[in-house]
Amino acid sequence: MRQLDGELLLDELGIDHLKNGAAFGALTSQAITYLVKKGRIHALQEGETLVETGEPSGSFFIVLKGSLSYYQSLNSHKEHIYDFHFGEAIGFVSMIALTPWPGTTIAASDTHVLEVNSNLFYTFHCEMPLDFGVLLINLSRELARRILNLSQQVATLKSRTP
- CATH fourth-level superfamily of 2-160: Jelly Rolls (2.60.120.10)
Which pTM was predicted? 0.93
Tell me, what's the pLDDT at 87?
97
Q: What is the mean pLDDT of residues 107-117?
A: 98
Tell me, what's the pLDDT at 158?
86
pLDDT higher than threshold 80 for residue 162: no
Handedness of CA 66, 71, 72, 73 (dihedral sign): negative
pLDDT higher than threshold 90 for residue 154: no
Q: Which of 112, 120, 129 lies closest to 6 in space, CA to CA?
A: 112
Handedness of CA 122, 125, 131, 136 (dihedral sign): positive
**Cβ proximity of 49 and 106 under 8 Å:** yes
**pLDDT tens-digit readout, 50-90:** 999 999 999 999 999 999 999 998 888 889 999 999 999 99
Burial class (CB in 10 A: 0-12, 13-18, 19+), 73: middle
